[in-house]
Structure 1
Amino acid sequence: MGFRLNAYLDRIRLSNVPDGLAGLRALQESHMRAIPFENIDPLLGRVPSLDPKSLSDKLLARERGGYCFEHNRLFGHALEALGYAPRTLLARVRNGAPEGGARTHQAFEVTVEAARWLADTGFGGHGALHPVGLDEPGPQVLPNGAYRVVRDAVAGETVVERQAGDVWISLYGFDGHTARRIDLEAANFLCASWDGAPFKANLMLALHGPDGRRAMFNRALTLGMPPETETRVIDRFEDFARVLREEFRLDVDHADLAAVWAKIETAPTRR
């Protein structure tokens, strides 16, 4: 059993998908509001599977989340099933830095209504709830803030930025070349296994709820988007388990919760 579109739409609570750009927007926002970003498997030494059956079991049936390769592989299956033609990209995460690292983030370029759009449900940082227009040179006001794309001629990349107060923060950059399935498999293994990636050493969660974006870095729980955020540090395992189950809506068994807590109990609460 592979990808099931009806099960996906039930999971993201979307009963009707409009045509064209409206449908693309609805899919991305509904996905990001329903399925959390989380890296529990890599943190516990597991390489996430990207095959359709495993993704459907984990993110749909078991109501878990995942990191970018899991989110966007699932999202990509939905786009294809609905008649979109997503083109896969690999990006270098910047998160405010002047240049990116390895190609460890997946996103899509989707052409719809005679324009190109960057569609992405799996960025664990401050990603856009709606696709970002790649042909629009100016700022774009989306449901969770203002975004823009700029050209970095030195790196040969298109860079996605988000406005935070009076400044623009770089999120990630991509060169526009189409990534193949083997590229994604290799990048997924690298992200889950490499000490140079953040996922083996730190817990990272994110979910866009009705009261704003929730994020967690190890034991630090943050509500809101920069520059307006509130953060508190969780000190007890019981509170940690409740937050994951109730605020991030993650179905994680007790053994895994205990194993995660053991790894983050004394870990830093700032990146």
Structure 2
Amino acid sequence: MTFDNYLQKLELTPPAQPDIVFLRRFMARHIERFTFNNIAVLLNEPLPLDTESLLDKIVQRGAGGYCFEHNRIAYELLSSLGYSTRLVLGRVLNNNIRPVPRTHRLTLVELEGETYLVDVGFGGSCPIGPIALNIQVPQQAGLDQFWVRAIDNDEYELVQHHVDGPFILYRFDMAQYTEADCAMGHFYSHKHPDAVFVNNLVVSRKTPTEVLMLTNHRFTHRTENQDVETIIDSSDRLFTLLTQTFGLCIEHEICEFLFERYVAPKLAASELQITSSGRG
């Protein structure tokens, strides 16, 4: 598997020299074409981070992956095309400021005097286009608006515009990181018993006009005009969703396992909470 195959899957031609037009197209098409998911984590499959293995998993087999996988091959591709890239690690906050490890990989790209945040591995909240660090107003990327703001201690945070105010997705700094640092964050993310991806089923795909996102038993389809939520209450529904909506090649038996182990318990807990609230 080569970068040529990667570009062919995205129907992209390498630019004569690095430019913002290609960067925008690349990000949008990668996020639309390759799903974000942690299914391999939940199945306890090996998750090597070498480029050849990732190209096979994400590009050739279409199995998707999460940030340490998606953003690794994006980083390698852009670097091979002459883009000035920088590996960065971040702390995922989701608007809850607390001490957490650096478990998110992203890329910074220097281009034509501007620094851009390039992230193709943050699931349903991922910006589908580059976000300029020096523009301190919301920048449109698909259905969403984002901006990067500087805070204390030489840190930055990616902020998403919500109707009820700014929503901090993650924080990062300008320290020098290596693939060894990624290996540590990757190990925590798919092996630590308290890690989010070890305890929840998460699948998403984004286009410029819609967001498709599954979190355990809740599937949300968001468009410009509405959000529609569907409850996944059987392994058959899960199988249909993963194969038809997300285009994943997955066996029904695996969907039965995922449903029984991760979806059904969250569904039962949600129903119990609703029942308890009704009695209150």
Same fold (TM over 0.5): yes
Counterpart position of 1:193? 191
Are the counterparts in 1 of residues 142 and 209 from structure 2 also a CA contact under 8 Å?
A: no
SS at match of 2:74: helix
Counterpart position of 1:81? 80
2:156 equivalent to 1:158: yes
Counterpart position of 2:273? none
Q: CA deviation digits over 1:61-81, x for unaligned, max 9?
A: 111100000101111121112
Counterpart position of 1:107? 106
Q: Provide the alpha-carbon RMSD of the alignment.
A: 2.1
Q: Amino acid of the residue matched to residue 8 of structure 2?
A: D
Counterpart position of 1:54? 53
SS at match of 2:45: coil
Separation in 2, partners of 1:227, 1:99: 33
Q: Amino acid of the residue matched to residue 266 of structure 2?
A: P
2:221 equivalent to 1:223: yes
Separation in 2, partners of 1:220, 1:13: 32
Unpaired stretches in structure 2, ≥5 consecutive residues: 271-280
SS at match of 1:86: strand
Q: Amino acid of the residue matched to residue 139 of structure 1?
A: P
2:202 equivalent to 1:204: yes
Are the counterparts in 2 of residues 47 and 192 from structure 1 also a CA contact under 8 Å?
A: no
Q: Amino acid of the residue matched to residue 6 of structure 2?
A: Y
Separation in 1, partners of 2:176, 2:38: 25
SS at match of 1:214: strand
Larger radius of gyration: 2
Please point out which of 260, 263, 271 is paired with 1:262: 260
Please point out which of 10, 23, 28 is paired with 1:12: 10
Q: Percent identity?
A: 27
Are the counterparts in 2 of residues 47 and 193 from structure 1 also a CA contact under 8 Å?
A: no
Unpaired stretches in structure 1, ≥5 consecutive residues: none
How far off its partner does 1:47 sit?
4.4
Counterpart position of 1:92? 91
Separation in 2, partners of 1:63, 1:5: 15
Please point out which of 232, 235, 238 is paired with 1:234: 232
Please, which moves more after superposition, 62-71 or 43-52? 43-52
Q: CA deviation digits over 1:141-169, x for unaligned, max 9?
A: 2222211112221x542001011114110
Q: Amino acid of the residue matched to residue 216 of structure 2?
A: N
How far off its partner does 1:57 sit?
1.5
How far off its partner does 1:263 sit?
1.3
How far off its partner does 1:225 sit?
7.0
Counterpart position of 1:37? 36
Counterpart position of 2:24? 25
How far off its partner does 1:268 sit?
1.7
Please, which moves more after superposition, 201-210 or 13-22? 13-22
Counterpart position of 2:145? 146
Are the counterparts in 1 of residues 141 and 208 from structure 2 also a CA contact under 8 Å?
A: no
SS at match of 2:158: strand
How far off its partner does 1:210 sit?
6.3
Are the counterparts in 1 of residues 133 and 149 from structure 2 also a CA contact under 8 Å?
A: no
Moved over 6 A (4+): none
Counterpart position of 2:275? none
How far off its partner does 1:228 sit?
5.0
Which structure's relative contact order is higher, taking Cα pairs within 8 Å and 6+ residues apart? 1
SS at match of 2:127: coil
For normalisation by structure 1, the TM-score amounts to 0.91
SS at match of 1:56: helix
How far off its partner does 1:100 sit?
5.5
SS at match of 1:174: strand
Are the counterparts in 2 of residues 90 and 107 from structure 1 also a CA contact under 8 Å?
A: yes
Counterpart position of 2:120? 121
Separation in 2, partners of 1:210, 1:84: 24
Separation in 2, partners of 1:226, 1:263: 33
For normalisation by structure 2, the TM-score amounts to 0.88
Please, which moves more after superposition, 167-176 or 204-213? 204-213
